[in-house]
Amino acid sequence: MSPQNSFRCDKLDVATEEFGAKFLCRNGLTPIFLWYSLSAKGQIGQQKDVKRCLDNAKYLKDRLQKAGISVMLNELSIIVVLERPRDHEFVRRWQLSCVKDMAHVIVMPDITREMLDNFISELVQQRKQWYQNGKAEAPCVADDIGAQNCACSYHKIDYIGS
């Protein structure tokens, strides 16, 4: 076997081609944990988890919207997209995934309303500091999440007038 095709199992997913065959190496224990978790909860338990996630995602979206933060939530989704917080430390502490001027929160079953309230409270408090005295404005994310979801100064005025 040549060095570039050497088979190593220390990576999550490694493939090699030798003699036209492909070999994959994955952790075999993870699927067992997944199977156990799904079996232990049962279908009704899984349905409750899904409902709680969807309800909490809507709760997060509604609270952020009331706070004047650009936010979007697609129907039947647990991914809440919002304007990117300006502070890198805030992003790191809350483990937000960010792209351009957007961040997203994935509302998983272990996320409680108390956690969401803490996140919202801290974000609102931080935004007051970031945007005080008109030094900076919230980003316009209309191109990414739609003008109807954008709470920038331009789109907020546009929708108030219509």
Q: Among 15-19, 75-79, 136-140, 153-157, name the one with the lowest average pLDDT.
A: 15-19
Element (H, E) at 153: helix 153-161
Q: Which residues contact 15 (CB under 8 A, 6 or more apart)?
A: 22, 23, 24
Q: Which residues contact 112 (CB under 8 A, 6 or more apart)?
A: 56
Smallest Cα–Cα separation from 144: which of 55, 81, 54? 81
Residue 141 has pLDDT above 70, yes or no: yes
Class of domain 49-161: alpha beta
- What residue spans define the domains of the chain? 49-161
Q: What is the pTM of this model?
A: 0.74
pLDDT digits (tens, 9 = 90+) for 91-127: 999 999 999 999 999 999 999 999 999 999 999 999 9
pLDDT band at residue 132 under the 50/70/90 scheme: confident
pLDDT of residue 106: 97
